[in-house]
């Protein structure tokens, strides 16, 4: 399909904002997917095109974190492999299994995450003893959340971050950096399957990818320079925002006047 220069410019800036938000707290898809649908792109192609553009954003943030020494890729190789396998499996199974149960459960989990970050002032300080070994974390968390991202998606960044903080006992900045590595991994796995199915709209996706790349680079810089005091409220806001959006989609009558 052909879009005018004005709509492409809007999508570029939407992706830039989404990339910035996603690098800090996740949830950039809350902006990009509705934007793609609003210009008339069918849902399947919108999701595939979103994976294309978000892969560039997550790569941009990941690269910045690696270059600044926040992530050791060799240390994360098992988690990366497990996340890739989980995401690819989820992307295959979503074509055959009803995801309705997840649409009901995920908003509740996102609200719990936002409340946990909101009312735990010392969360993300780091330095505690990990509750799982790196291998156990990779197989359990990497595989399961990777599967979820390939199967459904919303809130993946929040789920990875809370696991890195609570289970791996990492500081919030390092947790955010590692989250973005695994986000990129799961994006690529799902994107490969979307490409094989011929779903992404390349012109739109690559223009948005340029915006997402720039936005994610700026967001990653904020993570390092501002640290926990900026990340924590952003995680709360984005987790609660995603929960409200999903609930509104499922139960629009709840948000009507007179409820």
DSSP state of 70: S
* Confidence (pLDDT) at 202: 95
Q: Dump the DSSP string for 98-147.
A: --HHHHHHHHHHHHHHHHHHHH-TTTT---S--SS-HHHHIIIIIHHHHH
* Confidence (pLDDT) at 126: 67
Chain segment 208-226, per-residue pLDDT in tens: 999 999 999 999 999 998 8
Tokens for 166, please give them: 């609570």
Instruction: Print the SS3 string covering 119-132.
Output: HCCCCCCCCCCCCC
Global pTM reads: 0.87
Domain chopping of the chain, boundaries:
5-250
Which mean pLDDT values do the consecutive 10-residue runs of the chain (259 residues) have? 87 95 86 89 88 94 95 95 94 71 75 80 71 95 92 83 92 93 94 90 96 96 84 84 82 69
* Confidence (pLDDT) at 143: 96
Residues 6 or more apart in contact with residue 192 via CB below 8 angstroms: 88
């Amino acid at each position: 399909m052909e879009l005018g220069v004005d709509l492409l410019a809007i999508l570029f800036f939407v992706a830039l904002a989404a990339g910035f938000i996603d690098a800090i707290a996740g949830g950039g898809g809350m902006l990009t997917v509705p934007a793609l649908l609003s210009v008339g792109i069918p849902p399947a192609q919108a999701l595939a095109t979103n994976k294309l553009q978000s892969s560039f954003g997550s790569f941009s943030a990941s690269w910045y974190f690696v270059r600044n020494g926040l992530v050791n890729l060799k240390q994360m190789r098992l988690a990366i492999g497990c996340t890739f396998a989980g995401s690819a499996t989820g992307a295959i199974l979503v074509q055959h299994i009803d995801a309705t149960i997840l649409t009901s459960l995920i908003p509740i989990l996102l609200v719990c995450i936002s409340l946990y970050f909101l009312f735990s002032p010392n969360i993300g300080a780091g330095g505690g003893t990990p509750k799982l070994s790196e291998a156990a974390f990779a197989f359990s968390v990497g595989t399961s959340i990777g599967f979820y991202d390939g199967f459904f998606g919303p809130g993946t960044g929040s789920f990875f971050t809370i696991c890195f903080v609570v289970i791996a006992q990492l500081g919030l900045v390092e947790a955010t950096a590692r989250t973005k590595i695994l986000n990129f991994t799961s994006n690529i796995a799902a994107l490969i399957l979307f490409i094989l199915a011929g779903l992404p709209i390349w012109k739109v996706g690559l223009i948005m990818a340029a915006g997402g790349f720039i936005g994610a680079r700026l967001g990653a810089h904020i993570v390092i320079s501002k640290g926990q005091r900026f990340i924590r409220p952003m995680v709360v806001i984005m987790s609660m925002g995603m929960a409200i959006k999903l609930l509104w989609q499922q139960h629009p009558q709840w948000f009507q006047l007179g409820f």
